[in-house]
């Protein structure tokens, strides 16, 4: 069998040190008494589950949230220690895997609560539906379980919910959900209550409770839009110029002739396309950086290539083999998402899935990560 040869046309750099710095910035923002949990679901938003988890643990994060059991088991098999909570997977079916791998299920409905109660000893987190209509026990079901004594016998370690509109500071849904969550929190008096995720951190202290669950903010995405932005950019995306073409005036560039030159032009074909996760909507809307110059993306995005206008850029800077920058400190994932009208989380996860990742500051990680003691035994908060 012939060996796999990687072309090296695309370089997607992930700065683990910036992720750690963002964790520390959010920890400082919420202050003493509020825990910051790291959300590494969906392969750490496309940036690599294991490497990102190790970076966060090394920075002092002692609780990670993953999407499902597959992600949790990958962390355990990679010798990533610490507390791991699973947002959504069937405890009734896979309870033994949770127990044998020291994993914490998030209980999302009455059936799961019944399965947890039957074990008698399994630590769990309770998700309460307060206005998102996705997962979580209805408040009426929580009250019913509370007054029947279920939580006296089998109390959750953490009670949590999720805000629907946290990126919009003035949206009344935020206050409604906070008040609903507060009613459950005051009723159950858990040691740990958690309502806010990344954007919710900037809604203020009344939304922090005892824990915030941070995902996108760790990866440099700033949904809340607070200025100046306290978060560091985490990713840099570069791609190689494969060829340069001279294109006459009024000629079409790309599928559908969505762009026609207005002058005799030099056009570079760059080795990145929607296969790598770039939104097709980028075409004719954003620019690449070539040294200190800007090169507009022109024509329709291709599967593995795109075209940029380099007419005004010195030829020595943009010949075949040179790299152009698409994302970096000066033009971030948030900037790209705003320019083309897409969700920045979607951009990040698609790029992570479509590009070969390269890690910066990987020397910050130890070869094996110390185990944090499980601090999630269920207790009741005192008045």
Q: Are 267 and 309 in contact (CB under 8 A)?
A: yes
Listing DSSP states for 160-190 in one string gives E---SSTTSTT-HHHHHHHHHHHHHHHHH-B
Q: Are 85 and 125 in contact (CB under 8 A)?
A: yes
Residues 6+ apart with CB under 8 A from 77: none
What Cα–Cα distance (Å) separates residue 115 from each residue in 103, 105, 173?
A: 15, 11, 32
- Helix residue spans in 31-109 (DSSP H): 41-45, 49-58, 69-77, 91-100
Q: Are 161 and 136 in contact (CB under 8 A)?
A: yes
Alpha-carbon gap, residue 26 to 82, rounded angstroms: 20
Alpha-carbon gap, residue 278 to 333, rounded angstroms: 11
Q: Cα dihedral angle (112, 113, 119, 125), rounded to 10 degrees?
A: 100
Question: Which positions are annotated as active-site residues?
Answer: 41, 255
**Total count of residues recorded for the chain:** 383
Residues 6+ apart with CB under 8 A from 121: none
Q: Cα dihedral angle (55, 82, 382, 137), rounded to 10 degrees?
A: 90
What Cα–Cα distance (Å) separates residue 85 from each residue in 102, 106, 109, 159, 166?
A: 9, 7, 16, 13, 22
């Amino acid at each position: 069998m012939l060996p796999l040869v990687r072309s090296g046309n695309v370089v997607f750099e992930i700065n683990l040190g910036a992720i750690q710095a963002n964790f520390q910035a959010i920890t400082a923002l919420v202050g003493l008494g509020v825990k910051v949990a790291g959300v590494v679901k969906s392969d750490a938003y496309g940036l690599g589950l294991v490497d990102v988890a190790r970076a966060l643990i090394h920075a002092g994060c002692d609780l990670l949230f993953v999407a499902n059991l597959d992600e949790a088991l990958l962390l355990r098999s990679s010798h990533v220690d610490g507390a791991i909570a699973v947002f959504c997977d069937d405890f009734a079916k896979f309870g033994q895997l949770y127990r044998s791998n020291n994993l914490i299920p998030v209980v999302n409905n009455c059936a799961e609560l019944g399965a947890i109660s039957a074990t008698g000893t399994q630590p769990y987190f309770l998700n309460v539906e307060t206005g998102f209509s996705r997962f979580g026990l209805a408040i009426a079901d929580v009250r019913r379980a509370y007054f029947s004594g279920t939580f006296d016998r089998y109390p959750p370690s953490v009670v949590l919910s999720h805000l629907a509109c946290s990126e919009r500071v003035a949206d009344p849904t935020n206050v409604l959900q906070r008040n609903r969550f507060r009613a459950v929190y005051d009723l159950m008096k858990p040691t740990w209550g958690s309502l806010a995720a990344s954007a919710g951190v900037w809604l203020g202290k009344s939304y922090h409770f005892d824990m915030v669950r941070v995902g996108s903010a760790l990866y440099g995405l700033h949904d809340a839009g607070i200025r100046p932005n306290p978060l560091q950019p985490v990713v840099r995306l570069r791609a190689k110029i494969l060829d340069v073409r001279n294109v006459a005036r009024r000629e079409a560039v790309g599928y559908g002739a969505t762009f026609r030159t207005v002058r005799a032009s030099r056009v570079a074909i760059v080795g990145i396309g929607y296969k790598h996760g770039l939104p097709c909507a980028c075409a004719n809307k954003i620019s690449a950086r070539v040294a200190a110059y800007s090169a507009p993306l022109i024509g329709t995005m291709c599967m593995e290539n795109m075209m940029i206008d380099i007419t005004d850029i010195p030829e020595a800077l943009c010949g075949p083999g040179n790299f152009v920058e698409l994302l970096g400190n000066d033009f971030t994932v948030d900037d790209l998402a705003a320019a083309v009208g897409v969700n920045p989380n979607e951009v990040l996860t698609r790029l992570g899935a479509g590009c070969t990742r390269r890690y910066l500051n990987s020397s910050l990680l130890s070869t094996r990560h110390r185990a944090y003691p499980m601090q999630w035994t269920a207790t009741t908060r005192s008045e």
